[in-house]
């Protein structure tokens, strides 16, 4: 006996499991055991599941196939369950069929077996099935077929292959049984003369089992190897599933699905699909109707997953392409525990009620009940030490919904809708997001309506100031002292404005003193003389010779005083880092006593002794990364962090994590291991991420004149109406920024400060295009979300130099120069008055007096004749008056500043009692 004839570990050959809504059975020849689950999909509130293990009563048995009947028709209290199996006695190669009856309450079983072929009739394929009524069992092989009355335990029909198959060498590989008919898929001669094998589908009338109607399922021209057809070869596996009058056949060798239609006594091919998933080693070895409108197909190794090496793909029956699976099992919401160690699925079955049972290559059993709308069937007890694993119904997770019953996962909420995941009832639809503002963050799979303005990007990096056009102190003094602006604030602080007011006051004093002089009041004359003496002592223009220069000196004091106030205030506005408020002493409130230069320098260039400590602090600073996962359901216990090393090696990183359920935000903080490294944050679970905010922070440090500034940068990442992709790489480039501040005093040391400035690159965030191209079902095929942050340092640094426009000693010197300038300006003004304005005034006065004298003289000479005939004394008086007037005029022409005393002396000299004209009037006219 060859060991390959009876491989006890192979759970694929034959039918090693069968399932109905009320019963599941699997066979393990390696353990000589039947695993029986009674009411496998019943929840705990309805009594739960019952598990029975039925050991073989012999070591000489090899079970080829098993079929479930379910509750016995004659069981009054529903306690008795029935199964049927086809087996061989290995020592004699005798095929037989057995009926097993099991008590639900005690798991006691009874077997009744009947031989169906003589000894020596070894079968590579020995299939058995039960009709939908659970009355008859049907067995098929390449040499015989039979019909068994289950409850009477009688072989009703027992026929040879020649009575059934049109091809003499037909080998059945798969079977499914309806009520009165069955479909068997296998390989047989397409041409009996050439004896070429083809893939056939045969319709069997279960009442007679004779003369099956067979058709070619494929149009292939490839020659089939007879040895692989006759003896067992997994590559040649076929599968059949019936739903109503629709039949589905899977042809693994061609990765094909074939749709058949049962019409009266024949079959017809209505459609055929051939798919080839990348890296898949098997497609279509097992096919099942999931419901009336969808089908389930077993696919081996479609891509690497952490749960299993095979998956069940579910398609709409009229849409079977590489990109149109509705969902796959397992998926990110329906995972398999590591307890199973990435199994392969040997068989699976879906009941008429839509429930799923899976048999793995290790003999483990997965029981997945169909979930109603708003729920999903998920593996809850992932640590159970057993070979049967039950999935239980759970509410859809946050960010998803489900509006129909199915075996699959919940679907993600569309944009502008959400499911917070905290509801106590099922989510048949997602709730609309209430916030309609531009800052509302409510993309795919949202748990909350997040206000993105609360998580903004911000940066400490600012443009280094530019030096103003004016960097000379004299220019600054001239511009700010001799400036009048229409702005009220500028006018109030304008030095020239207050100087002009002072000049106005001085002019008023000058006018007052002039009026006092001509009024002739001796009381005011005394004060006037005293004031003149005081003003002469304050005269810095005429060096104490002009009392008018003393008045001008007051204006100089005001102008110079304001300039000193400006200078002192200006020199204090350094350095720029210590400036708190605006420059209130000037119209330009941004005025600073600083000039700036900026450039790039290579890090390889040696540093000065006073600058090197800052670079040491920058190199030693520890960066802290905070990853804020916004609008996500990932809990802290599902997140890990690592530093990626060379190749696939990595080391785990410690981290702090916090979660805000109302804001649907999880925040992770961890230190960067270095300034050039790759940090990876892994999130395991079925959730998605709406947005990411990355923050880099670092503590500052001050050491004498060297200051390392605290680091605090945040960058917000999101993609409109989409979720962040499953794998996101974010590069961050750091560059040193060094500020060198020269001291205001040459004796003081220069100060250095530095900060790291990160540059966050623009990255691709969404997998939407990938899903559109390769299938939306891929959203749910991975439970691992990875954010990889790659940081590096640039080989250069930014060097910013700040130095004062003017220092103290220079300011004192320039202040003195400006004072001298102001004095010279006023002296120049007096010079202009003396050389230009006064001569014009004198010349004007001279012309006026000459004209007056001419007119007066003409008036005297043209007196009437009766006046001329007056006494000789009158004529003498007139001549005397004329002479006196002439002398006064000459005196005034010679010196306009003659004192009143000189004029009085002239008048006394010519005093005549009989002068009829008033001398004062004459003087006034002159």
Report, as an integer, the average pLDDT of 392-396: 94
Q: Which residue has the higher pLDDT, 859 or 376?
A: 376
The phi and psi torsions of 852 (rounded to 5 degrees) equal -65, -45
Q: What is residue 712's predicted lDDT score, i.e. its pLDDT? A: 94
913, burial (CB in 10 Å: exposed 0-12, middle 13-18, buried 19+): exposed
Contact predicate 681/668, CB 8 Å: yes
Answer yes or no: is pLDDT of 542 > 70.
no
pLDDT in tens, 191-203: 777 778 889 999 9
pLDDT-derived band at 546, boundaries 50, 70, 90: low
The lowest-confidence range among 70-84, 194-208, 362-376, 821-835 is 821-835
Q: What is residue 914's predicted lDDT score, i.e. its pLDDT? A: 37
Alpha-helical regions (H) of 42-97: none
Q: Which residue has the higher pLDDT, 136 or 853?
A: 136
Task: For residue 825, give Cα distances in angstroms to 497, 549, 818.
Answer: 16, 13, 10
Contact predicate 763/787, CB 8 Å: no
Answer yes or no: is pLDDT of 880 > 80.
no
Report, as an integer, the average pLDDT of 770-792: 92
Report, as an integer, the average pLDDT of 762-770: 90
Residue 406 DSSP symbol: B
Report, as an integer, the average pLDDT of 68-83: 91
Task: For residue 597, give Cα distances in angstroms to 131, 140, 578, 738, 801.
Answer: 92, 94, 18, 12, 5
Report, as an integer, the average pLDDT of 573-582: 83
Q: What percent of the chain has pLDDT over 70?
A: 87
Q: What is residue 204's predicted lDDT score, i.e. its pLDDT? A: 95
Q: What is residue 419's predicted lDDT score, i.e. its pLDDT? A: 95
Q: Using omega within 30 degrees of 0 as the cis cutoff, is the peptide bond preceding 249 cis?
A: no
Measured distance CA(75)–CA(414) in Å, rounded: 51
Contact predicate 359/16, CB 8 Å: yes
Report if pTM > 0.85: no
- Token pair belonging to 872: 């000789």
Residue 671 DSSP symbol: E
Q: What angle do CA 305, 309, 314 make, to 5 degrees?
A: 80
Burial code of 77-116, b = ≥16 C-beta within 10 A, e = fewer? eeebbbbbbbbbbbeebbbbbbbbbbebeeeebeeebeeb
Q: What is residue 316's predicted lDDT score, i.e. its pLDDT? A: 94
pLDDT in tens, 29-60: 999 999 999 999 998 778 888 999 999 989 99
The lowest-confidence range among 337-341, 485-489, 563-567, 785-789 is 485-489
Q: What is residue 2's predicted lDDT score, i.e. its pLDDT? A: 47
Q: What is residue 910's predicted lDDT score, i.e. its pLDDT? A: 47
CB proximity list for 196: less than 8 A, separation 6 or greater: 189, 190, 223, 224
Residue with tokens 């916090």: 658
pLDDT-derived band at 761, boundaries 50, 70, 90: confident
Q: What is residue 527's predicted lDDT score, i.e. its pLDDT? A: 65
Measured distance CA(87)–CA(159) in Å, rounded: 18
Average pLDDT, the chain: 85
- Token pair belonging to 28: 């393990």
Report, as an integer, the average pLDDT of 670-694: 94
Answer yes or no: is pLDDT of 101 > 80.
yes
Report, as an integer, the average pLDDT of 362-378: 95
422, burial (CB in 10 Å: exposed 0-12, middle 13-18, buried 19+): exposed
The lowest-confidence range among 34-48, 441-455, 543-557, 632-646 is 543-557
DSSP-derived secondary structure for 621-645: PPPEEEEEEEEE---GGGEEEEEE-
Report, as an integer, the average pLDDT of 306-331: 93
pLDDT in tens, 149-192: 999 999 999 999 888 887 768 899 999 999 999 999 999 887 77
Answer yes or no: is pLDDT of 602 > 50.
yes
pLDDT-derived band at 850, boundaries 50, 70, 90: confident
The lowest-confidence range among 229-238, 444-453, 814-823 is 814-823
Q: What is residue 110's predicted lDDT score, i.e. its pLDDT? A: 92
pLDDT-derived band at 745, boundaries 50, 70, 90: confident
pLDDT in tens, 263-304: 888 999 999 999 988 888 889 999 999 999 999 999 998 887
Q: What is residue 915's predicted lDDT score, i.e. its pLDDT? A: 39
pLDDT-derived band at 568, boundaries 50, 70, 90: confident
Beta strand ranges found along 120-170 (DSSP E): 126-130, 136-141, 144-149, 154-160
What is the domain partition of the chain in residue ranges?
Answer: 1-125, 473-580, 597-803, 863-925
């Amino acid at each position: 006996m060859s060991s390959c004839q009876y491989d006890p570990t192979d759970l694929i050959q034959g039918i090693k499991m069968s399932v109905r809504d009320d019963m599941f059975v699997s066979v393990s020849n390696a353990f000589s055991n039947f695993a029986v689950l009674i009411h496998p999909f019943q929840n705990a509130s309805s009594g739960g599941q019952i598990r029975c293990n039925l050991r073989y009563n012999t070591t000489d048995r090899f079970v080829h196939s098993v079929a479930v009947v379910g509750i016995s028709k004659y069981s009054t209290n529903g306690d008795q369950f029935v199964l049927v199996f086809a087996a061989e006695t290995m020592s004699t190669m005798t095929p037989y069929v057995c009926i097993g009856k099991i008590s639900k309450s005690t798991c006691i079983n009874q077997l009744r077996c009947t031989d169906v072929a003589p000894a020596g009739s070894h079968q590579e394929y020995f299939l058995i099935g039960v009709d939908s009524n659970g009355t008859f069992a049907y067995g098929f092989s390449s040499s015989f077929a039979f019909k068994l009355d289950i409850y009477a335990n009688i072989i009703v029909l027992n026929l040879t292959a020649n009575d059934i198959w049109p091809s003499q060498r037909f080998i059945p590989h798969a079977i499914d049984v309806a009520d009165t008919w069955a479909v068997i898929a296998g390989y047989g001669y397409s041409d009996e003369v050439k004896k070429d094998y083809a893939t056939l589908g045969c319709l069997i009338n279960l009442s007679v089992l004779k003369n099956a109607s067979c058709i070619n399922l494929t149009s292939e021209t490839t020659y089939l190897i007879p040895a692989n057809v006759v003896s067992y070869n997994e590559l040649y596996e076929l599968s059949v599933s019936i739903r109503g009058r629709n039949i589905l056949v899977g042809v693994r060798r061609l990765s094909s699905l074939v749709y058949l239609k049962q019409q009266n006594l024949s079959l017809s091919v209505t459609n055929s699909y051939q798919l080839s998933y990348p890296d898949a080693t098997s497609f279509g070895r097992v096919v099942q109707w999931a419901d009336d409108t969808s089908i389930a197909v077993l696919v081996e190794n479609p891509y690497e997953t952490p749960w299993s090496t095979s998956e069940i793909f579910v398609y709409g029956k009229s849409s079977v392409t590489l990109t149109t699976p509705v969902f796959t099992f397992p998926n990110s919401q329906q995972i398999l525990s590591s307890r199973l160690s990435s199994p392969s699925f040997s068989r699976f079955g879906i009941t008429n009620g839509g429930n799923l049972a899976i048999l793995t290559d290790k003999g483990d059993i997965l029981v997945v009940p169909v979930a109603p709308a708003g729920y999903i069937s998920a593996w809850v007890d992932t640590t159970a030490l057993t070979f049967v694993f039950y999935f239980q119904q759970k509410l859809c997770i946050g960010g998803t919904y489900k509006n129909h019953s199915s075996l699959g996962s919940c679907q993600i909420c569309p944009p502008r809708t959400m499911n917070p995941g905290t509801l106590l009832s099922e989510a048949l639809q997602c709730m609309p997001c209430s916030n309609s503002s531009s800052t509302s963050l409510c993309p795919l799979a949202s748990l909350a309506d997040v206000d993105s303005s609360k998580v903004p990007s911000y940066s400490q990096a600012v443009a280094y100031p530019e030096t103003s056009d004016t960097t000379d102190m004299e220019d600054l003094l001239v511009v700010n002292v001799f400036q009048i602006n229409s702005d009220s604030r500028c006018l109030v602080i304008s030095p020239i404005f207050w100087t002009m007011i002072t000049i106005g006051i001085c002019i008023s004093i000058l006018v007052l003193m002039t009026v006092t002089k001509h009024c002739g009041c001796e009381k005011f004359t005394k004060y006037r003389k005293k004031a003149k003496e005081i003003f002469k002592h304050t005269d810095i223009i005429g060096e104490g010779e002009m009392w008018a220069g003393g008045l001008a000196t007051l204006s100089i004091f005001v102008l110079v005083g304001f300039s000193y106030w400006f200078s002192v205030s200006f020199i204090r506005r350094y350095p720029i880092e210590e400036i708190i408020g605006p420059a209130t002493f000037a119209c330009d409130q941004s005025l600073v006593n600083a000039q700036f230069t900026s450039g790039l320098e290579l890090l390889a260039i040696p540093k000065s002794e006073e600058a090197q400590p800052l670079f040491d602090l920058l190199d030693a600073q520890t960066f802290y990364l905070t990853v804020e996962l916004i609008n996500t359901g990932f809990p802290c216990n599902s997140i890990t962090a690592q530093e990626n090393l060379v190749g696939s090696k990595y080391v785990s990183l410690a981290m702090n994590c916090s979660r805000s359920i109302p804001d649907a935000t999880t925040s992770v903080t961890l230190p960067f291991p270095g300034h050039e490294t790759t940090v990876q944050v892994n999130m395991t679970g079925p959730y998605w991420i709406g947005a990411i905010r990355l923050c880099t922070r670092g503590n500052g440090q001050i050491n004498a004149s060297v200051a390392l500034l605290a680091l605090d940068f945040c960058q917000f990442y999101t993609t409109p109406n989409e979720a962040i992709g499953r794998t996101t790489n974010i590069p961050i480039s750091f560059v040193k920024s060094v500020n060198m501040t020269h001291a205001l005093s040459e004796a003081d040391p220069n100060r250095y400060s530095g900060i790291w400035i990160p540059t966050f690159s623009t990255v691709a965030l969404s997998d939407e295009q990938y899903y559109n191209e390769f299938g939306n079902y891929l959203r749910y095929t991975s439970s691992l979300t990875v954010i990889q942050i790659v940081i590096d340092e640039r080989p250069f640094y930014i060097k910013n130099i700040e130095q004062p426009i003017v220092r103290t000693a220079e300011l004192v010197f320039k202040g003195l120069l400006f004072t001298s300038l102001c004095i010279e300006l006023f002296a120049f003004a007096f010079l202009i008055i003396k050389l230009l304005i006064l001569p014009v005034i004198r010349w004007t006065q001279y012309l006026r007096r000459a004209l007056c004298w001419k007119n007066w003289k003409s008036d005297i000479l043209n007196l009437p004749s009766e006046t001329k005939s007056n006494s000789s004394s009158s004529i003498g008086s007139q001549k005397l008056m004329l002479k006196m007037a002439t002398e006064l005029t000459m005196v005034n022409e010679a010196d306009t500043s003659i004192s009143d005393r000189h004029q009085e002396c002239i008048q006394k000299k010519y005093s005549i009692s009989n002068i009829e004209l008033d001398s004062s009037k004459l003087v006034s006219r002159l």
